[in-house]
A and B are shown apart, each in its own frame.
Chain A
Amino acid sequence: MKRSGQPVFWVLFGAGGMLAALFGPALVFITGIAVPLGVLLPQGFMNYSRMLSFAQHWAGKAFLLGAITLFIWHAAHRIFHSLHDLGIHTGVVARTLCYGGAGVVTLLAVWSLSAVGL
């Protein structure tokens, strides 16, 4: 019997959902509201040299890669299954678009985070 790939997608969905539930609100607040407005944290918090060293550090790199890829795989899996609830039954096409899109985001994240160097 051919093994199903479903558990892999389900684990990525679960891990991404958990990461987003624990850290999503704080991340959106910091990067999208606090730092741009300069409230609580100064605007220089995310200046180029600081963020470059953050992305070059192994822990910062792992955090960014984990957040981007797990968030997108979580969302892709959930959106794919919600299409069915909306009456859209485009099996292979929807699957390719959802998981393919997540794959492209993953590749770009890996590429950009390796391009910033160590």
Chain B
Amino acid sequence: MSARRPYMRPMNGWWRRDPFFVRYMVREATALVVALYAVVLLAGTLCLARGETSWNAWLALLRTPASILLHLLMLVAMIYHAYSWFEIMPKTLPVLFIGGRRVAGTTITRVGLIAAALATLVTLAVAWTLRP
């Protein structure tokens, strides 16, 4: 039994063979950015709890060119996350019927993308009204 070495098909780089798989892996990779942004926000709340000096240190860190560049890349990844999230929504959602007719996948994607655009505009508008 211990001598048995079953054949394991190598799977290095399988996803690079097909653009469809590449898109899949890029979509999955956006999770790294979502996690990183959660940690950035957590660092903020931890600093906020420690007091004003810590909070200002966190703000100063956010103002460094490296942080700005990182956030620009994170913004691109976050936008791709939003796009791909609604792109695959027709497959992740149970089949929807409205008035006895099946809702088309393209409709689901379009409604999702419009909702994301509206949520973005509303968030920016709320921030604008709350500015000091």
Residues of A within 8 A of B (CB): 14, 16-18, 20-37, 40-48, 50-52, 55, 64, 67-69, 71-72, 74-76, 78-79, 81-82, 85, 87, 105, 108-109, 111-113, 115-116
Contact = CB atoms under 8 A, between A and B. Distances in A.
Given A21-B85, A33-B72, A26 B124 contact: yes
Given A27-B37, A64-B45, A85-B25, A32 B67 contact: yes
Closest 10 pairs (CB-CB, A-B)? A32-B71, A75-B35, A78-B31, A71-B38, A26-B123, A115-B49, A22-B119, A21-B85, A21-B82, A72-B38
A51 B20 CA distance: 43
A73 B42 CA distance: 13
Interface in B30-67: 31-32, 34-35, 37-42, 44-46, 48-49, 52, 55-56, 59, 62-63, 67
B68 A37 contact: yes
Contact of A36 (B42, B45, B68, B123): B68
A73 B87 CA distance: 21
Contact of A48 (B11, B56, B120): B56
B78 interface: yes
Given A75-B35, A116-B49, A27 B123 contact: yes
B123 A67 contact: no
A45 B59 CA distance: 11
B64 to A, nearest CB: 8
20 contacts: A20-B34, A25-B82, A26-B120, A28-B71, A31-B41, A32-B71, A32-B74, A41-B127, A41-B128, A47-B132, A48-B56, A67-B38, A68-B41, A68-B42, A71-B41, A72-B38, A81-B28, A87-B12, A108-B42, A109-B42
Given A17-B85, A75-B38, A50 B132 contact: yes
Contacts, number: 171
Given A21-B82, A45-B132, A67-B41, A75 B31 contact: yes
Interface of B: 11-12, 15, 25, 28-29, 31-32, 34-35, 37-42, 44-46, 48-49, 52, 55-56, 59, 62-63, 67-68, 70-72, 74-75, 78-79, 81-82, 85-86, 92, 112, 115-116, 119-120, 123-124, 127-128, 130-132
B68 A33 contact: yes
Contacts of A64: 41, 45
